[in-house]
Every structure is written in C-alpha cells, then in structure tokens.
A and B are shown apart, each in its own frame.
Chain A
Amino acid sequence: MNLAVFGKFAAVSFQKEITYRFDYFMAVLNGFLYIFVFTALWRALYAQGAGAGGFSAAGITAYAIMAMAIRISFSMDDTTIAIKVRDGSIATDLIRPVSFFMMNMAQCAGFSAFHTLARGVPILIFSIFLFKVDIPFTARGTALGLLSLVMGYLILFMLNYLFGLIAFWIIEVFPFQLMKYGLLNLLGGSVIPVDLFPASMKPFLALLPFQHIFYTPAAILIGHATPERALVMLTEQAAWVGIMGAASLLFWNAAKSRLVIQGG
C-alpha cells in the first residue's frame, strides 16, 4: 500500500470521527473525568506513603496525566472487523487491491489522529496547567518517548486487530473484547504504573505485551525511566512489535482460509 492510499483511508476515518460533535465534546469530558479520578486517587495515596514505585507525589500525577492522554490519543474503533464479518461487507475489503492489515491500520490511524489532535493533546496541555505538573523536557527523552509512542501504538493496534480477527471464528467477539479491556486496564499502565505492582508479579507481566502500550511511552516521556532503562524498555517494545506483527500475519492467513461470509 502506498502512502497516498494510506493517507486517503486515514483522512476518511478522520473526517468520519469529526462529524459527530456531541460525541466529541462528551469524549473530551470523559477524558477529563478519568484524569480527575486518578489524580485525586494518587494524591490521596501519596499523602499516605510518598515514594512508592519511585514516584514522588508530583511525579505520579504527571504520570497519570501523561498515561491518560496517551490512552485517549490511542482511541481506536476496534469493532470494525467484527461488524464487517457479520454483515458480510468484509468481502469488499478482500477484493480491494490493498493489504487488509494496512487498510485497517490506515483507518485506525485516521481515527487516532483525530483523537490525538482533538482530545489527547488539548487535554494534556490543559491538565499540565490545571494540575501544575512539571514534565522535564530533554530532546533525547522526547525523541525516545515519541519512538516509544509509535511502537506502543503499533502494539495496541495489532492487539485490537488480533482480537478483531476472532470474528472469523466466533461471530460474537464482544466477550473477548471485554476481556481485552480488562487486561488492558489492569496491565497497560494507563491506570497503575507497572512499578506499583508487587515484585512477584513483574516476571509475569514481562510475558505480556500490555505494559508496552501505555506504561513504556508514558514513563519515558515524563522522564520517569532513566536513559539506560529507557533503552532497555524500547528494545523490549521493539521485540513485541515484531512478535505481534508475526502473530498478525499468521492469524490473518488462518482467518482468510476459513472465511465464511455471514449473512447476505
């Protein structure tokens, strides 16, 4: 898929998102609600025991805001594949001369681009002023952070993609999505940074990609991860991008071969 086609798909879904302004304002509100909840929670908790997980009270607030802003920016419509399989319109996608994977990614990118520009960034900037957080800015940290952000996005996209492909086997994918949300909330780092998990759980967490979706980019961007640690995390993240990519390819081939178009 060339860049122009990718851009076209992305632009279309960007525009689709923009048409519903009521949804937009609600979604902005939703983002702030979460930030209110978690900054309040951390303030209360760090008043009891500062320093937990290597965060200061200010540091954890910065983390909460950054992680939530990333989560908002990473908004994706993870229902499209399932809907297309159910109503049979997946057939039209398959006969298009573009890669299904890339087309989905383009659509997701457009969707997320809208949420990044219209929600993630404004909410981040606004919250930084509202909660007077101080995010140390270094060129190197920011560069690594942005790289990590891209990889985190890819991991989340592929996770959604894989869960979406389940629809080729089981029509009702919502239960799986629900389980995915549960895991993502718990382990992704948008709510609790991995540092606060009991030490005994950390090896288990390393076996899963979730922490590299929100935690890694957020920790790097706010300067919580030391430069050396950041490099290690980035390497792990890159490995996960590879693993998920391979899984996507394998899974897609399996899905294609058992394509039964439903409905019609």
Chain B
Amino acid sequence: MRYHLGMAYTIEAQNLVKTFTVNESGKGLLGAVKALFSTKKRIVHAVENVSFGIRQGEFVGYVGENGAGKSTTIKILTGILVPTGGVARVNGVVPYENRRDNSKNIGVVFGQRTQLWWDLPVRESFEILRVIYRVSKGDFDAMMARLTKGLGLDGLMEMPVRKLSLGQRMRCDIAASLVHRPTVLFLDEPTIGLDVLAKENIRSFLRELNGKDGTTIILTTHDMNDIEQLCKRLIILDKGRVIHDGPTEELKKRFPHDKIIEVDFESELASLPLVPELEPIRREGKKMWLRHAHDSSGLALAIGKLASLYPVKDLSVREPSVEIIIRSIYEKTAALPGYAPVEKAAK
C-alpha cells in the first residue's frame, strides 16, 4: 500500500515539502513598536517529505494532530499551493501547474469555511457553479435530484446561506463540491462541529458516493468515528511526516489480544506503579485508559488488583478503538511497527 513509483495512481504525492515563512511580531507594546521597523522571520515546516499513492475508488482517511500539515497537503493537491519541493499529481495532472484542468476533475470541501455565496439562496450558488463548471442543464438537474435526495436538501434550496445551520450548510457545501461530478473528492474536516445525526447523514452519503460511483475520496478529520466507519485506509501525519500508511483494519490488528480498560478513579492519579501489567496510554482528569497486552486470563487478575489497590469508581473493558490506537501513536506511547513500552513518564 505504500507508494511505488510508476504505478497508476489517481492521486500521488512524491516527497512533498512545504515550508512557510512567518513574520513574528515582538511581545508586548515595546516589541510591537520595534516590529514596525524590523521583522523576525520564522520558518514553519508544514509538510516534510510526504509521499503516498491513492488508487481510483479508495476512501482514505488523512489524520494527524492540529498543525500536522493535513490542510496544507490538501491545498497542494487541489492546486491552491505550490509545494516547496516534490511533485503531486491528480489524475496525472500536476494540480498547481494545470489548475483549471485539475479543477474539473476534483471536488473540494473545506469544512471551516463555505464555498457557497453567503448572501444568496442556496439554489443560486448551485446555479453559479453549474455555469462555472459548464454543466449542461440536463446533467445538472439529474445530479441535483440525486444530491437533494442523498443529502436531504429539500427545503434548504430557497434559504440564504447565512441563515443555514452548520449541519445544513455542510450538506449544501458537499453537494456544491459535486455539481460537476468530480472523480476525486477532497474533504477537509467536513464533519467539524456537527451533531451525531448530521454526521451520520453525511457519512452514509459519502459511503454511497464512494461505493456506487467509485469516487476517490480523501478525508481529513479529527473524528475517529468518521475514520472507522468510512475509511478503509488510513494515513497518519505527524509534524509534516507520514508516520503510518495502511488499511484501517490492520491498525487494529497491531494490538490483536489487547484490551483497553477505561477507568474512572475517585481522585486524579499520576501513575499506577503497583499494577505494572496495565499500561496507561491516555489520561483525562480522573479518567484513565489502560492497555492490557497479555492473554485474557491475566486480565481479570489485573483488574482485581487495580480495584483493590486504587480508588476505582467505575471501570469498563473494551476492544481498542481506532481512536485509542491513533492517540497512542500520536503520543508515542506505542511506536510503530509493533509497540515499545511506555516512554513517557507520568507527569
């Protein structure tokens, strides 16, 4: 699944590098005054040597912490930014060199901001897009009928965009990115800020789009449920570098016999030195997630020990979710491949 040169990929990234130069303004009033006449520059390495290849019809999750470089990669692939180094191709077109050719093939949604015309009724935005993409009336009507049904746009078409709720707007935005039937769809946080129902609605539509139409989809998100439910493949980015690329299922298999124990303690605990077989992988106030990496017979014993030695309030045992696994990858508590013992000492 890793990138191999010369294979037929729909989307390919070859050693992509993107650095930004940021002007720093000084601290405080004095610093600000000084900044009037001089600037300090800082280099930000947003994307460092990213390579991957994605085939027609794949549904790929592109995840990473805030600032990992996801949006930057998407901007390069959609032709908005020119990379500092490396090459990108989408359908064989270099996006930033042939922006227009590329744009006919792709649909883009930036969840953070709308591509619709803020003051116009939704219908007008679609009409404008129809004109811009030179979609024939017939094709347009057919596609709109599908989008209206699939995304539940009935009743929204006459509303001005600024009056839509976030979930309604996002559905319209996704529809807007598909008016010209692109074969590749880039979704940058399309579920941000949505409630469970709205997310579910969008997910089932995307599943169908990918399954039936074979649209290639790249999705960035911070919601691991999106990933688990939609993406067969996962690319994890950390500080601009790809640290994992493979099937989502495979990630789970990395922890075949593991169990995750979610514990609510009475008080906040730093570490659990008395139960070394339970390894803390995440901590949130009085809550802790522990990994038990041995066979299940030891599990009951370990839990018993935990409950008797520490002030446990509540406890449940789970299969490791993708979220937990990814989080443990971010936090470097489990190095890949396989996993090493906890490096991070408790605070």
Contact = CB atoms under 8 A, between A and B. Distances in A.
A–B proximity contact (CB within 8 A): yes
A18 B162 contact: no
Interface in A110-160: none
A186 interface: no
A37 to B, nearest CB: 26
Nearest to B38: A21
Contact of B29 (A15, A21, A24, A263): A15
A14 interface: yes
Nearest to A21: B36
B30 to A, nearest CB: 10
Interface string A11-42: 10011001101001000000000000000000
A22 to B, nearest CB: 10
B162 A263 contact: yes
A138 B196 CA distance: 73
Contacts of A18: 29, 32-33, 35-36
A11 B35 CA distance: 16
Contacts of B29: 11, 14-15, 18
Contacts of B32: 15, 18-19
A87 to B, nearest CB: 10
Nearest to B163: A263
B162 A24 contact: no
Contacts of B37: 21
Contacts of A21: 35-37
Interface string B62-96: 00000000000000000000000000000000000
B136 to A, nearest CB: 36
A19 B35 contact: yes
B56 interface: no
Main DSSP-derived SS at the B contact region = helix
A263 B160 CA distance: 12
A21 B25 CA distance: 10
Contacts of B33: 18
Interface string B151-175: 0000000000010000000000000
A21 B37 CA distance: 8
A18 B162 CA distance: 33
Contacts of A15: 29, 32
Contacts of B25: 19
A21 B26 CA distance: 13
Interface string B1-45: 000000000000000000000000100010011011100000000
Interface string A251-264: 00000000000010
Nearest to A16: B32
Interface centre among B29, B36, B37 (most CB of A within 10 A): B36
B36 to A, nearest CB: 5
Interface centre among A11, A14, A15, A18 (most CB of B within 10 A): A18
A88 B29 CA distance: 29
Nearest to B32: A18
A183 B29 CA distance: 36
Contacts of A14: 29
A263 to B, nearest CB: 7
A86 to B, nearest CB: 9
Contacts of A19: 25, 32, 35
Nearest to A118: B36
Contacts of B35: 18-19, 21
A185 B32 CA distance: 32
A21 B23 CA distance: 12
Contacts of A11: 29
Nearest to A14: B29
A263 B32 CA distance: 34
B74 to A, nearest CB: 26
Nearest to B29: A15
Nearest to B33: A18
A4 to B, nearest CB: 16
Nearest to B36: A21
A24 B35 CA distance: 12
Nearest to B39: A21
Contacts of A263: 162
Nearest to B37: A21
Nearest to B28: A15
Contacts of B162: 263
A263 B118 CA distance: 12
A14 B29 CA distance: 9
Nearest to B162: A263
A140 to B, nearest CB: 34
A143 to B, nearest CB: 29
A15 B36 CA distance: 11
Nearest to A24: B36
11 contacts: A11-B29, A15-B29, A18-B29, A18-B33, A18-B35, A19-B35, A21-B35, A21-B36, A21-B37, A24-B36, A263-B162
Interface of B: 25, 29, 32-33, 35-37, 162
Interface of A: 11, 14-15, 18-19, 21, 24, 263
Given A14-B29, A18-B32, 15 more contacts: A11-B29, A15-B29, A15-B32, A18-B29, A18-B33, A18-B35, A18-B36, A19-B25, A19-B32, A19-B35, A21-B35, A21-B36, A21-B37, A24-B36, A263-B162
